[in-house]
A and B are shown apart, each in its own frame.
Chain A
Amino acid sequence: MNLWAHEFRLLMRQRLPMAALALLTILTVASLALGIAEVSRQRDAISAIPAAQSQDIAAVADYIDSTKDAGSAAYYSYHPTWDSPSPLAFAALGMRDVSPYILRVRALGLEAQIYDGDTFNPELALTGHLDFAFVLVFLAPLFVIALFHDIVSGEREAGRQRMLEALPHGGTALWQRRGALRLILLWAGLALPFVVAAGLEGVSVGPILAIGALIAAYLLFWVGLAALVSRFRRSSVANAAILAAAWLLLVLVLPTLANVAINATVPVHQGAEIALAHREEVNRAWDIPREDTMRRFYAHHPEWSGSAPLGPDFHYKWYLAFHQNGDESVAPQVHAYRAGLESREAAARTVGILLPSVGAQMLLTQMANTDLSAQLRYQDRIRAFHKRLRTFYYGYLFNDLPFGRKDFDRVPEFDSRT
């Protein structure tokens, strides 16, 4: 039996480290199972879209076909957009936890539709999901502390340190071997279940290796901290207390303070304010001359200016025009909001360089495509789709073309990849 096997047997006989390793593995498996279940639920919801959409269109098609009114078609029909989870999303749910991943849009004003859903679901935001990223970033350091706080001090307190250090393979080599074994087992407790889950989810080898390396690097940081604390030759209890305080500081307090500082430095209005401003602008259109609305619309969209003048009756082209005017009136706020969010994310990335907990979390959500950037890219895809949708309906409205049942087949469809 070699020294590693002896160390392994010694560890296997110790209740606390083995219980800690078992608990970490159980938490990892549970988090992965919950992540897979959540992503599976989201995939199911997305895969149910075509059938639901067919039902929705069928429900309005008769009425539209009877009126041949493209405006009614634009008003009454919703068109689904969705953000399919990446293969790695199960590991870090990130923004998918609280932000919409399905948005049904109409050809009306878009910004209110996007930002109506911007307010996070407070119940979800409060509790969050137990995902792999949470286990790695928040819980794994506690297990490092449990396994590493007394590697040397425990032997000193048991009266074995000097005897062990007096042996040829004792001393530093022994502490390193013990530390390495515990690190490997902690890594295995996190990484092996992840590899199995990633295999089930069809994740390619590159991201699996990258996350394996990320787990190792994050654990190494905490092991290094534990080794540094053990150099002060304090008691095991003192070591544990110092490391627990460091965990509190590095994982909870400093990231929270950094978040507060970033929010104070980069003030960003809430998306709901944009939705409200858009709604007010749209409502104001009912109180101003319709010609003013159309003049403003044609100034920005001369391609439709050849359309027949408005008659005395209600016409959807006026209605959709003031919705688009509403979108354009809040465009500077939308731009500022997005720029603010991007600035905050850039600042958070800088914090991530200094705080490993923040850095690991950001890397995971970035690789899983569940970070803020992914959410903004989804909004870009919605905007591009909405533009196609508007153009499609405007073609009927501004040219006074009839819209029948068959025309629903020509409605643009959302492509989640573009």
Chain B
Amino acid sequence: MPNIDPILISDLTLDYGGGDLVLDGLSLAVPAGSITALLGGNGAGKSTTLAALLGFARPRSGAITVCGIDPVMDPDLARRRMAYLPENVALYEHLTAMENAEYLLALSGERVPVAGIEDALAAAALQKRAWHQRLGGFSKGMRQKVAIAVALLREVPVLLLDEPTSGLDPRATADFNQLLIEVRARGAAVLMVTHDLLSAADIADRIAFLEAGRVAYEVAASGAERFDVRGLHARFQLTAERLAA
């Protein structure tokens, strides 16, 4: 079997029925054990890319696969190989962190013993005293930790993140990035949609700029400095201005 990338998008076009293409020839590959950050202005097609990977949006043409599975043809099978964290991880406030994790795992078709969930919550750096608390008073960062613990337990090869660090304080962002590094170390392919260039530069192996539904610029980390953040910032600003115009 050929060694194909867990996330593979090729010349994808997609519209929502109005005729205007939201994705227009998008091509992107995310290898196993890597993090790709997808940046772009509003309306560039970032969230639509995630929707297409999750099987929520039907492409007009092109190819899209998750671990070799077409999410449009077989969304259930594809979703077994993916974990998705939305921008605002909204879990059930009347369930505890443990119960939320149990529930999401059950919906994922996973049976994990309590000890396993506790290990995952600990690995996600959620304080032990919060494990059996209802989520009513949890911060966004704490909710994300519960969700990431579920993703860790599912051991899926693909992790999709939508603006994971927006609204997080620097400490929480650093904690979250550390978790992502652990996920990557387990061999997962991580695709992270974000506006946070600094965080992306910190953690991503590759940064792709999306513009008008296609990758306008893509750069891989290299050297000790990894990315030319100043240059990327200028490029990102330019892209945003072009989009605004």
Contact = CB atoms under 8 A, between A and B. Distances in A.
A159 interface: yes
A174 B109 CA distance: 12
B108 A169 contact: yes
A13 B104 CA distance: 16
Contact of B80 (A9, A13, A158, A168): A168
Contact of B107 (A1, A13, A162, A169): A169
A165 B82 CA distance: 12
A95 to B, nearest CB: 47
B73 interface: no
B85 interface: yes
A14 B95 CA distance: 10
Contacts of B94: 10, 13-14
Interface in B67-120: 76, 79-80, 82, 84-86, 88-92, 94-95, 99, 102-104, 106-109
B90 A169 contact: no
A160 B90 CA distance: 5
A167 interface: yes
Contacts of B138: none
A163 to B, nearest CB: 5
Q: How large is the interface on A (under 10, 10 to 19, 20 to 34, 35 or more residues)?
A: 20 to 34
A3 to B, nearest CB: 5
Nearest to A158: B90
B90 A159 contact: yes
22 contacts: A1-B102, A6-B102, A6-B107, A10-B92, A158-B90, A160-B90, A160-B92, A162-B54, A162-B86, A163-B84, A163-B85, A163-B89, A163-B147, A165-B54, A166-B54, A166-B56, A166-B84, A167-B107, A168-B76, A168-B79, A168-B80, A169-B109
Nearest to A160: B90
Contact of A170 (B88, B90, B102, B107): B107
A414 B104 CA distance: 69
A1 B99 CA distance: 11
A171 to B, nearest CB: 8
Contacts of B84: 162-163, 166
A13 B91 CA distance: 14
Contacts of B103: 6, 9-10
A2 interface: yes
A6 B110 CA distance: 13
The listed residue with most B CB atoms (<10 A of its CB), out of A9, A160, A163, is A163
Interface in B167-190: none
Interface residues of B, number: 26
B90 A163 contact: yes
Interface in A1-47: 1-3, 6, 9-10, 13-14
The listed residue with most B CB atoms (<10 A of its CB), out of A2, A9, A166, A168, is A166
Contacts, number: 63
Given A168-B108, A168-B109, A174-B107, A163 B76 contact: no
Contact of B106 (A3, A158, A163, A165): A3
Contacts of B90: 158-160, 163
Contacts of B82: 166
Contacts of A164: 107
Nearest to B90: A159
Nearest to A5: B106
A160 B88 CA distance: 9
Smallest CB-CB A-B distances: 10 pairs? A159-B90, A13-B94, A166-B84, A167-B107, A169-B107, A160-B90, A168-B80, A6-B106, A166-B54, A6-B103
Interface in B125-182: 147, 160
Nearest to A177: B107
Contacts of B104: 167
A14 B93 CA distance: 10
Contacts of B91: 160
A9 to B, nearest CB: 7
Interface in B47-78: 54, 56, 76
Contacts of A170: 79, 107
A275 B95 CA distance: 68
A327 to B, nearest CB: 70
Contacts of B80: 168
B109 A163 contact: no
Contacts of A14: 94
Nearest to A2: B106
B106 A162 contact: no
A162 B109 CA distance: 17
Contacts of B106: 1-3, 6, 169
B102 A166 contact: no
Interface string A165-185: 111111000100000000000
Interface in A140-174: 158-160, 162-170, 174
A320 B199 CA distance: 106
B95 A10 contact: yes
Contacts of B86: 159, 162-163
Given A6-B106, A159-B88, A163-B147, 13 more contacts: A2-B106, A9-B95, A9-B99, A10-B94, A10-B95, A10-B103, A159-B86, A160-B90, A162-B56, A165-B56, A166-B160, A168-B79, A169-B106
A170 B103 CA distance: 11
